[in-house]
Every structure is written in C-alpha cells, then in structure tokens.
Amino acid sequence: MKKINPSLAKGTRDFGPDEMKKRNYVFDIFKKTFSLFGFNSIETPSLENIEILNGKYGDEGDKLIFRILNSGEFLKKVKNINKKSSSELKSLISSKGLRYDLTVPLARFVSSNRENITLPFKRYQIQNVWRADRPQKGRFREFYQCDVDYIGTNSLVCEAEIIKLVYSIFKELNIDNIKIKLNNRKILTGLSEVYNFRDNFNQFCVLVDKIDKIGKDQFKVELQKLELPKEKNDELINILFFEGSNKNKLDFIKKTLSKSDIGIQGLNEIEQLLLLDDNFEFDLCLARGLSYYTSSIFEVISSKDNIGSLCGGGRYDDLTEVFGFKDISGIGISFGIERIIEVMNNRKLFPEKIISSDKVLISYLSEKFIKQSIDIATTLRKNNINVDLYSDNGKLKKQLQYANNNNITNVIIIGEDEIKSNIYTLKNMKIGTQEKLSIEKIISKLS
C-alpha cells in the first residue's frame, strides 16, 4: 500500500483538545452576549449554488470563491473544450461553491423564508467559511466567522446597538485598547460624484480598503489610475487623511459634499448616530471593499496589537433584491474569531481553569473492579459530573500519568479496600493531596 503523507491542505488547521477549550470559551461568550442583545441563532449550508455567491463580493472577492466540481462525468457535456476560456469552463463544470461569508447566505435565507420570519429579523451565526486566498499569518483558507445582523429595518438604533454589542463582547473577553472606526458609503459615493469618478467607485473603495496594507504613498500612486486632475487628486487625499475630532471631520467635509444629495445623507446619518452613541471614530479612510455595502460601515481595531481589524461590517440595502425580496435594509458585523483568539493568546487572557479538565478519572487497580468502576462512573454522570473511565489495565503510575497528560485534576482510585468499605480514595493531581470519602461525599465535593 502506498504510504500517504498526513499533511494538511494549505490554509487549514487541526485543533486539539486544549485549543478547542479556548475556542469554545470564546464561542460561549459570543453566544451569551448575542442572546443578551436579542439575536437568535441560525445555520446555513456550507455549499451554495454558485449564482448565489457570484457578483456579491466585488471583482477581488469573486476570485476567492472556492468552486466545487460537478459530480459524475462533467466533462462529457462540454463541447469544444479546448476552445473554452478558463472562466467559460468554470461555469460549465462547477455549479456550486463553498460559502465565502455568512452575509450573502443570510440574504438568501431571508428571501427564501420570508413567509416564516418576522421583520425586523435579528440573527447570529457562528460557522466556518472558505476563501481561496494566499495563506499567511492570521489569514487562512478555512476559518470561522461570528456574525450578527438585523434584516428589515433602516433604523440607526441598529448601529448604536452594534456599537454597544462590540464593547460588551471585548469587555467579556478582557480585550482592552480597542477602537471602533465608522464611516458611511454614502459619503464616499458623494466624493465620487463631486470628483467625477462614479464609474470607478468600486475600484476606489477596494483601493481605500488597502491603505493599511500598501501605505499612504503607494495609495497616492494607485489613485492616479482614476485619472483625476492632479489638484483634484490632492484635494481627495487631503479629505481622506484629514485628522481631528468627529465634529472637525464633519465640518471639514460638509462644504465639499454640499452639492451631493447622497453625500449629505451620509453626513446626516453620522450626525444622528453621534446623538445615540458617540463611542466611535469617524474615519474617512474606511471603505470596506465588499461591493454590497450602501451606508454605515465599521471596523474594530486594537491599538495594542498589530494584527489588522478584529471585526467589521456595515449596512446593505439591496442584498436581498437580487433574490426577489425588495426594499429590505440590513446591517451586521462579523467578528474575526481567529484574530481575536490570537490576541488573547498573545496577551495570555485565557483563564487557566479552562485548560484544566473538569473531568474525573476513575482508576481501578485490577480488572476485577471494572464492573464496580462502571457503576460508580454511571452514578457520577447522573449527578452531572464528567467522568473518564480508564480503559486499559495499566499500573496505577501509568493511570495517574494519563490524568496529568490530560489535565485531569481529580482521580478516584478503586482497589480491594475501597470496594470492601465503600470508601474511595480521591486524589488531587494538582496539589498532590488525597482523602478517603464515600461516593456521596465525593459527589458533594466535586459538584
């Protein structure tokens, strides 16, 4: 038999028990906080029809969708295969793809279940997504997203609540030094009208979204491709990089956008939101590259960790229209679980107790005590105590080493004397103490 190298696909990872304890700790905090804010959980399939995904993420994003080959002899139906371009061939041999994010599947879910949901619809979703990106530090091809969304309301209360939600999440995780950056795509649209690059608006947003990666100087070079007059280029750069308070920025840009109705709408929305919650930074350099955003957009960064955005999102007014569900506004935010866990690891924010197992190991000194050990394990489990019953007939030393290797604090040792007296040895592996107790007292102590 040919030996297979047990390697992982690039951009994917295994998670062992200790890592899963950390991840579940974070997931539980997300779920608890999402529920406190009135969101309900849903799940959608890993696979979506490719027409659901295509055209929703901009040119850059669409290239990163993982396509799945049709089953069966899919090439037999393709005529003149050698004359087909790669893009033509893709559409003929692949009709499904792995979900790129959780927002587009949400829009599809809402549109197909419109008769069964009540608007405004509030949902949270924690599932994995896939992107055919180049793997690098903090970026994977398979990763989890944690999303909350409102569907069916254009109220700015949603933006204010999301701001509160973000700070609540990071407070629960003990991650400080975070900042919410917020902008409005209507303001950016207004700039495209004023400076006459409306046809290149999506290209402009993708470019602005890369400022943190390429730097201000390279951004200036790339901006010239929009072919604006040099003085207009300079004006636009001065606006985007203007520094000051939220009010200073609003006052500075109002005159520029005075002749753009949509730009003024965006400014008014920022001003109204400031009356509800001003705990954010108005950032004109924030664009969010995804093409479906139409109004408020936000990102959360850490001023303490050089790791990029920890979460981001925005409002989308037209996403369900392509599925036949018109005039439905939505807004949501997606938390980057992988980066958040990396920050917590780097800052040593995980409580030590989550790594220690809450299980009890039952260790028997002879095979003839297996039946009694199983009965004791059943009794403990009926009292909601997690039990690991040692399965091999190993020496006591080996069994205790097994407990240490698995971070199991308590071991119940069962031997001849214990069976006769119904008094059992409970050993604490962390501090090395042991005591003789009845099963009832062991249950009371461990509960």
Instruction: Specify the pLDDT at position 73.
Output: 67
Instruction: Specify the pLDDT at position 303.
Output: 86
**Average pLDDT for 405-431:** 92
Among candidate residues 178, 191, 182, the one with its CA nearest the CA of residue 273: 182
Degrees to nearest 5, angle at CA 289 with 283 and 290: 125
Instruction: Specify the pLDDT at position 394.
Output: 79
Instruction: Specify the pLDDT at position 359.
Output: 86
Q: Which residue has the tokens 């069966």?
A: 72
Instruction: Specify the pLDDT at position 232.
Output: 83
**Average pLDDT for 28-48:** 97
For the chain, the domains span: 17-346, 357-446
**Average pLDDT for 239-260:** 93
At 80, the pLDDT band (50, 70, 90 cuts) reads: low
Pick the CATH number of 357-446 from 2.40.340.10, 3.30.110.70, 3.60.15.10, 3.40.50.800: 3.40.50.800
User: Is it the case that residue 83 has pLDDT exceeding 60?
Assistant: no
**What region does 227 belong to: left with phi over 0, alpha with psi -120 to 50, or beta?**
left
Q: How far apart are CA 140 and CA 131, in angstroms?
A: 8
pLDDT, one tens digit per residue, over 194-213 is 998 888 888 888 888 888 88
User: Is it the case that residue 251 has pLDDT exceeding 70?
Assistant: yes
What is the side-by-side strand order in the sheet with 387-389? 387-389, 357-364, 408-414, 423-428, 434-438
pLDDT, one tens digit per residue, over 40-67 is 999 999 999 999 998 888 777 888 999 9
pLDDT, one tens digit per residue, over 114-125 is 999 999 999 999
Which amino acid, residue 110? V
**Average pLDDT for 319-343:** 89
Q: How many CB atoms lie within 10 A of CB 36?
A: 11
Architecture of domain 17-346: 2-Layer Sandwich (3.30)
Residue pair 267/250 in contact (Cβ under 8 Å)? The answer is: yes
Alpha carbon distance, N-terminus to C-terminus of the chain: 51
pLDDT, one tens digit per residue, over 130-180 is 999 888 877 889 999 999 999 999 999 999 999 999 999 999 999 999 999
Cα Dmax for the chain: 94
At 234, the pLDDT band (50, 70, 90 cuts) reads: confident
**Average pLDDT for 363-382:** 93
Residue pair 316/103 in contact (Cβ under 8 Å)? The answer is: yes
Q: How far apart are CA 178 and CA 172, in angstroms?
A: 13
User: Is it the case that residue 77 has pLDDT exceeding 80?
Assistant: no
Portion of the chain with pLDDT greater than 90, in percent: 62
**Average pLDDT for 395-399:** 92
At 224, the pLDDT band (50, 70, 90 cuts) reads: confident
Portion of the chain with pLDDT greater than 70, in percent: 95
Which amino acid, residue 152? G
**Mean per-residue pLDDT over the chain, rounded:** 90
User: Is it the case that residue 70 has pLDDT exceeding 90?
Assistant: no
Instruction: Specify the pLDDT at position 260.
Output: 95
